[in-house]
Amino acid sequence: MRPKEFDRNAVLEKCIVLFWKEGYNGTGVQKIVERTKVNRYSLYDEFGNKDGILMATLHLYADRHIPWEILGKPNSLDEILFEFYASFFTPVSANKHPVGCYISTMALELRETDLMQDFFNSFLGNLTDRFAQLIQVKSRKREEGNVAKQLALFYCISMGMYIIFSQQETEKYIQDNLNLITKCLKQ
């Protein structure tokens, strides 16, 4: 096996910031070459093409930057959910990420493409499964999957909200409406 001449994840992290801030369609391969200092041949050799780079960034983001660990905290269901959603609006400054979620931003920009279909659907499915598990652990009430589904949709809603509303407005919205969704688990 030949040694990699570049750090794959470091390159992908730079691409995340690039695609997120300038749009996937707004970023040419030349720009990626300039920003990552990896030449075109090596990029293609590693990722196939620009779509390959995108897919790799999405997987990396889902693994590294979605705060899954929050869902495992010992706090109450409401606290955990609020912290999870709100975390997207208080990004870690070291990441140089804009506010929001990279995956849903790409899902919105590339909504007409087949490329995003499988990834985003499986991401939402994964989100739903994790919420279902969380509800099972935290609530004594039997959950038929509806609340978990609503929470996954609510994720999309929150990510849509911040595009137009301020961070404070979005947080207030999350707080108010999470209560409504989880209310049926407490009755």
Q: Which residues bind another protein (CB under 8 A)?
A: 23, 25-26, 104-105, 107-109, 111-112, 116-117, 120-121, 124, 146, 149-150, 153-154, 156-161, 163-164, 173, 176-177, 180-181, 183-184
**103 and 120 Cβ atoms separated by less than 8 Å:** yes
* Residue keyed to tokens 């909504």: 111
Residue 90, φ and ψ in degrees, nearest 5 = -125, 70
In this complex, which beta carbon is closest to another protein, that of residue 57 or of residue 104?
A: 104
Q: In the complex, what is the shortest distance from the CB of residue 176 to another protein, in angstroms, rounded to a whole number?
A: 6
In this complex, which beta carbon is closest to another protein, that of residue 15 or of residue 127?
A: 127
In this complex, which beta carbon is closest to another protein, that of residue 127 or of residue 134?
A: 127
Cα 50–Cα 25–Cα 162 angle in degrees, nearest 5: 120
Cα separation, 172 vs 178, whole angstroms: 10
CB atoms within 10 A of CB 28: 11
DSSP calls for 17-59: HHHHHH-STT--HHHHHHHH---HHHHHHHHSSHHHHHHHHHH
Q: In the complex, what is the shortest distance from the CB of residue 102 to another protein, in angstroms, rounded to a whole number?
A: 13
Q: In the complex, what is the shortest distance from the CB of residue 182 to another protein, in angstroms, rounded to a whole number?
A: 11
Q: In the complex, what is the shortest distance from the CB of residue 186 to another protein, in angstroms, rounded to a whole number?
A: 13
Q: In the complex, what is the shortest distance from the CB of residue 152 to another protein, in angstroms, rounded to a whole number?
A: 9
In this complex, which beta carbon is closest to another protein, that of residue 78 or of residue 109?
A: 109
Cα separation, 138 vs 5, whole angstroms: 47
In this complex, which beta carbon is closest to another protein, that of residue 6 or of residue 99?
A: 99
